[in-house]
Homo-oligomer: A and B are copies of this chain.
């Protein structure tokens, strides 16, 4: 057994033990520990920034691409954001011990369904150090122990962050092992982590499609998957021009590299002649490359043709595919065929049309007269999230503190027997 596998086994055993303690601590204790973390981070700010500089220098030296190095950097703004998120998560209502439902049965048996932690959550992620604080906070608030396996590029920063947060746990009577960082940067450590079904209850990979697929295929531990967002906006026949253009533009370019950004615009044939000209103008002003279906190109001369592959592509870039559809049914059909079940939207003033779209589009988030960029934990009032699930089982959409809980059935009798 090599050192990495040995390290992982040790981490797993400790996490399981910590999870057992954590499961029965009070919400006040977890809250207090989380609330004390910003102060701890402020106290180690100097050594954190020094560690982060070492991470950044090493990344530059090893010739990492610029966007990756940029993601590594803990700027003052990001540092403040990390503190704010910790405070925000600390103050969320306790997700544990909620009576989700309950009744007294005809035979007098009192039956309650109570929220409890999942146990041990494993997070596998790439370069952003703020995921370390965000994800740890959400897991701990939900009473779970967490094992963090961040990108090797941010290890020095992550170690300082984790040490500070673990110290906060310990001074509040919570086992420091409730938050552990994997120090091994090699492949064997991740491989070992994927096999630890006796210690880890759920894995959450955060990163590109390749990472998520590799994790999902390589493990028997349940995985909460955060696949791509091929998001659609359907402009119905009656879509008001200003709202249609504003929602389309905001959905596409408010931030292009994120999962709830718009990738395909569907325009009703009855509205195409009216809406396409102002849409094309608005997108051209914003330097968005448009790729159109044949009907779109007939109305907008000089447009690049969209090919089959375009309908299946998450561009994450200033590119937008555009298709004219016969009506809401064709829009629904397109979305359920090519979409990724992440976020889709409609602009219409017609109530039955909106109802039909909402009922038939099979996606985690369906928005009416709102930008696709508004789908997410913050806008839904969930606070910090560890990702946006494209699964249908357990968690769908934003994964916050409630989505990291399970439940148990608790039954009180007075000597009740089965007859």
Report the Cα distance A109→B409, complex, angstroms.
35
* Alpha-carbon separation in the docked complex, A406 to B369 (Å): 24
Residues in B with CB closer than 8 Å to A336 are 20
A371 to B417: give the CA distance in the assembly, Å: 5
Task: Scan A404-417; emit 1 where CB is below 8 A from any B CB, else 0.
Answer: 00111111111111
Q: Assess whether A370 is interfacial by the CB under 8 Å rule.
A: yes
Instruction: Identify whether the interface residues of A are mostly helix, strand, loop, or mixed.
Output: mixed
Q: Given A364-B408, A380-B111, A393-B406, does the pair A359, B23 have CB atoms closer than 8 Å?
A: yes
State whether the Cβ of A154 lies closer than 8 Å to any Cβ in chain B: no
Whether A392 sits at the interface, judged by CB under 8 Å, is yes
Q: Which of B20, B254, B394 contacts A417 (CB 8 A)?
A: B254
Chain B residues within an 8 Å CB radius of A270: none
Interface pair B24/A368, CB less than 8 Å apart: no
Contacting A412 at CB < 8 Å: which of B105, B369, B375, B381?
Answer: B369
* Interface membership of chain A positions 198-232, coded 1 if the CB is closer than 8 angstroms to chain B and 0 otherwise: 00011000000000000011001010000000000
Q: Is the CB of A415 within 8 A of B246?
A: yes
Determine if A396 and B391 form an interchain contact, defined as CB atoms under 8 angstroms apart.
no
Say yes or no: A246 contacts B369, CB within 8 Å: no
B408 touches A397 (CB 8 A): yes
Give the chain B neighbours of A293 by CB distance below 8 A: none
A396 contact from B254, B406, B416, Cβ within 8 A: B406
Is residue A373 within 8 Å, beta carbon to beta carbon, of the partner chain? Answer: yes
| Known pairs A111-B381, A369-B415, A415-B247; A392 contacts B362 (CB<8 A) | no
With known contacts A111-B381, A217-B220, A336-B20, A413–B368 Cβ distance under 8 A = yes
Q: Contact check: which of B374, B379, B409 meets A375 at CB < 8 Å?
A: B409
| Residues of A220-253 contacting chain B, CB below 8 A | 220, 222, 242-243, 246-247, 250
Asked if B359 and A24 make an inter-chain contact with CB atoms under 8 angstroms apart, the answer reads: yes
The contact of A369 among B250, B375, B416, by CB within 8 Å, is: B416
Q: Interface size class for chain A?
A: 35 or more
Asked whether, in the complex, the Cβ of B103 is within 8 Å of the Cβ of A370, the reply is: no
Q: A217-B220, A246-B417 are in contact. Are A374 and B109 (CB under 8 A)?
A: yes
Residues of B contacting A187 with CB < 8 Å?
A: none
Give CA–CA (A172, B371) in the complex, Å.
39
Q: Does any Cβ of B come within 8 Å of A50's Cβ?
A: no
Asked whether A418 is an interface residue with its Cβ less than 8 Å from the other chain, the reply is yes
Determine if A365 and B417 form an interchain contact, defined as CB atoms under 8 angstroms apart.
no
CB distance A418 to B109 under 8 Å?
Answer: no
Asked whether A410 lies within 8 Å of B358 as measured between CB atoms, the reply is yes
Q: Is the CB of A369 within 8 A of B414?
A: yes
A367 within 8 Å of B by Cβ? yes
Interface residues of A in 331-355 (CB under 8 A from B): 336, 347, 354
Task: Apart from A111-B379, A397-B407, list 13 A-B contacts with CB within 8 A.
Answer: A20-B336, A20-B362, A103-B381, A118-B392, A201-B393, A202-B393, A250-B417, A254-B417, A364-B409, A368-B410, A379-B418, A380-B411, A394-B394
> What is A's interface to B at a CB cutoff of 8 Å?
20, 23-24, 103, 105, 109, 111, 116, 118-119, 201-202, 216-217, 220, 222, 242-243, 246-247, 250, 254, 336, 347, 354, 356, 358-360, 362-371, 373-375, 379-381, 391-394, 396-398, 406-418
**Those 5 A-B pairs whose CB atoms lie nearest each other, nearest first:** A370-B413, A373-B418, A250-B417, A394-B394, A243-B415
